Structure 1
Amino acid sequence: MTNTYSNKLQNIVEDFQITFGHPAESTPTLPTLERFTNRKGWGSIEEAVEQLYSISDDKADFINAVTKLHEYLDKAMAKQLGKPLITDRTEKLVALADGLGDELWFLLGDCVESGIDIQPIIEIIKESNDSKLFTDENGDKYAKQDENGKIMKSDSFFAPESRIKVEIQRQINNSLTK
């Protein structure tokens, strides 16, 4: 692990980014709009929809929740369009850092509101991601990508859900004994 950051979780993700050939900057750097838009789609948006589905009681509830997300997205876009566009690079980085910090604050707040200790969950997800790696004849680990750049999974890959289930049950059991 490179330990560039003061946050352990961020260092875990940095290790993944480097191992899998994704960007990992050590100084504040503006990502391209295309890359960042894709990451929000793959991550924040897709995961938010998945989370809403996981807590919905039926498909109608789920559809209503996603429709509400569309409304929030439209409202947020209108709010930003009412502001002047930031043109200074440093000011762009300040605004990006503020937004990332706010987003992380809300994500951690979601963990708190759900009573989920996220650190062990992140560690399980890291182990699962690392299990995608292939091993060469020297024992060195490496990532493989298909022709579209999607990370391929090695034969040793394991999905994290069963381990997360064990961890969640441990957290439930620990809370019952307090």
Structure 2
Amino acid sequence: MQVSFASTGVMLSDGATNIMPVPVHRGEALNLIQQQENLAAVHAAWRLHADHVRHSLRHAYYQGWDLHPAQLVTRYATLFDFFLKEFEGATLRLKNFMAKAAQATLSGDVFDDAATGRGLLNYFRLAYNCSAITEAEVEAAGLKLSDLKGGSSSDASPWLQLIQG
């Protein structure tokens, strides 16, 4: 489905986790075992939701459905973890790519070409849009905010103009 909708502007969304991070026991006078079971149930649901979000992100589904407000905790934690774990490597690859004026490059065993440059740009756009990285971190990577926002080609960095054709 992703291939079919590529370049159409249609954003695909992954499905929801239907196990809610809520206590299994209700009431004010819970015994210790019930409290522990509640804690275990919430943590298990959070772990499952985080696994689902991480799986979606790895497969380039950057939108998903959260059915309960308590799922936002794991959504944001997993988004930040996903983007921040790769931030230094992506920054290094982007800077190397820009230094070569958007030519295909081989850094170690990683090959980067114009399509990869667009993918790296998308990585930074998504990381910035979900607040996992700041404007200062975008600029430290060698980008302008206008590069991420798809500004006019006159505002774009020279290397960005090259990869956009």
Band the TM-score falls in, shorter-chain normalisation: under 0.3
**Greater helix content:** 1
- What is the TM-score when the length of structure 1 is the normalising length? 0.24
- What is the TM-score when the length of structure 2 is the normalising length? 0.25
